[in-house]
Structure 1
Amino acid sequence: MYDATDIQSNKGMAILAYILFFVPLIAAKDSKYAWYHANQGLTLFLTGVIVNVVLGIIPFIGWLLLPLANLAVVILAVLGIVAAAQGQVKPLPYIGSYTLLK
């Protein structure tokens, strides 16, 4: 499904996708591997934004849960970076099944 040459030559872009998801979309347009991880990075980014907005609106309880939610987002990003660095196509837990980029 994913070409070994594509994976090897685009690992850096795949790793970068979890930090700046849009860079692989511009720099590695032809890489299925980079696009897969860019999709995971975009899903993670949107999840982080939604969680921060929702918990930021909820007084007290939301404010207490916000640091834990942000820690969860960071942990998911690290899991994605590790998978990308190892050349794996592995969805992130909980949010990895959503495909936003085709």
Structure 2
Amino acid sequence: MYDSTDIQSNKGMAIIAYILFFVPLIAAKDSKFAMYHANQGLTLFLCCVIVNVVLGIIPLIGWILLPLANLALFIFAILGIVAAAQGQVKPLPVIGAYTLLK
């Protein structure tokens, strides 16, 4: 499914995708491996924005849950970076099933 030479040559772009999801969209748009991780990074970014906006608006309970949700999303980013560094195509927990980029 994923070419081993593609994985080896684009591991760096896949790792960057979890920090700045748009970089692989520009620099490695022909890499299926980098695009997979760019999709995971974009999904993670959108979840971060949505969670922070929604929980930031909700008084008290949202403010209590916000640090926990951000910690969970940070852990998801670490899991994605580790998977990319190991050359794995592994979806993130909970949010990894969604495909936003083709």
The TM tier, using the shorter chain, reads over 0.9
Find the counterpart in structure 2 of residue 17 from structure 1.
17
Give the deviation of 1:95 after TM superposition.
Answer: 0.3
Map 1:1-102; keep pairs closer than 5 Å. Answer: 1-102=1-102
- Which consecutive segments of 4 or more residues in structure 1 shift more than 3 A? none
The count of corresponding residues between Structure 1 and Structure 2 is: 102
Question: SS at 1:39's partner residue?
Answer: helix
Give the deviation of 1:29 after TM superposition.
Answer: 1.0
Q: TM-score, normalised by structure 1?
A: 0.99
Gaps of 5+ in 2: none
- Tell me the C-alpha RMSD between the 2 structures: 0.3
User: What whole-Å deviation, never above 9, does each CA across 1:20-79 have from its counterpart, x for those lacking one?
Assistant: 000000000100000000000000000010000000010000001100010011000000
- Percent identity over paired residues: 86
